[in-house]
Amino acid sequence: MPDILFIVLLTLVIFGPKKLPEIARQAGKYLAQFKQVKGELMQQISGEIRSLEQQEHIEADPVTGSQITKTVASAEHEALSG
């Protein structure tokens, strides 16, 4: 708490009372943007982890893995020949 108070007082001395609300608004905007980007990044990372876990699960099951491989191979063949 004393650290934040020191930063606020230092900012007040450097920029003055007229600029302080503007600086606070800008800091709030940047913080909101940072939180949004952080949330999007965490969602992407979670999605990639789930995708890798599903892929590992499929590869671990030889019957399911071979069925999917055959299905993908036949779909690629149809797409290329069709």
- Number of residues written out for the chain: 82
Q: Which helix (H) or strand (E) holds 65?
A: helix 62-81
Q: Calculate Rg over the CA atoms of the chain.
A: 27
36-65 exposure pattern, b = at least 16 Cβ within 10 A, e = fewer? eeeeeeeeeeeeeeeeeeeeeeeeeeeeee
The model scores a pTM over 0.75? no
Residue 43 has pLDDT above 60, yes or no: yes
- What average pLDDT score do residues 41-63 get? 86
Q: Which of 4-8, 34-38, 64-68, 69-73 has the lowest mean pLDDT?
A: 64-68
Which distant-in-sequence residues (6+ apart) come within 8 Å of 65 by Cβ? 58, 59
